[in-house]
Amino acid sequence: MALEHLGRRNVAGSLLLLNLLMYVFLLGFAGWALNSSIKNAGADVGVGWGEQPWSPYYRQSAWFASRFHLATFAALAGALGVAAKASAAYHGGRSGASWRPQGLAAAASLGTAAWAATALAFGVACREIHDAAAAGPAGAARGWRMRALEGLTVTLAFTQLLYVLLLHAAVAGERCGLACAADA
């Protein structure tokens, strides 16, 4: 039993570190995308031609708006993810070897909130990938940073879900051993 518990802790610890690094990179790419979207908002939609920025009549305005929303939701997910990982590292104990039940519950709840924000960004990223694939060769010219932001968002949606499931299993294991008996 001790080896099985130690194995789960090693997996959760390595996922914590991996997700922390990916969330920091996600924050960087999301910040770049937000800056680029705000800086180029007027230039990208043809303001000089009598149209307002983010005009619904411009044929690509919805595409640029979805990029802006992807960057916004990815930045939110990144900030929550980094906070969740910092909280988990703090509540894991000074040496990281012992998880207290209160620390597990705090890490699991904040990790769930970070996963929810990441799932929201995942939905927008899937839409962005779908629109780029439907656009053909023109959609492939969206740049490596946007593709990296989409890829990180998709990857983090799954790795964060696995991390949250491991934390919730540990919380349940602390409460009732290896398996919870059915309530009678």
Inter-CA distances, 63 with 30, 35, 73, 119, Å? 16, 16, 15, 20
Q: Residue 136 pLDDT more than 90?
A: no
Q: Is residue 30 part of a domain?
A: yes
Q: Is residue 51 part of a domain?
A: no
Q: Is residue 68 part of a domain?
A: yes
pLDDT class for 29, splitting at 50, 70, 90?
A: very high
Q: What range defines the domain where residue 76 resides?
A: 1-41+57-183
- Over its C-alpha atoms, the chain yields an Rg (Å, rounded) of 20
Q: Is residue 131 part of a domain?
A: yes
Look over the chain and give the mean of its residue pLDDT values, rounded to a whole number: 76
Q: Is residue 46 part of a domain?
A: no
pLDDT class for 171, splitting at 50, 70, 90?
A: confident
**Chain CA centroid to CA 184, Å:** 39
Q: Residue 44 pLDDT more than 50?
A: no
The confidence score (pLDDT) of residue 83 equals 93
pLDDT tens sequence across 108-132: 889 999 999 999 999 999 988 888 8
> How much of the chain, in percent, has pLDDT values that exceed 70?
67
* Residue 31 in tokens: 């910040």
Residue scoring higher pLDDT (98 or 44): 98
Q: Is residue 50 part of a domain?
A: no
Number of domains in the chain: 1
Q: Is residue 157 part of a domain?
A: yes
The confidence score (pLDDT) of residue 180 equals 52
Q: Is residue 47 part of a domain?
A: no
> pTM of the predicted model, to two decimals?
0.77
d(CA 166, CA 83): 18
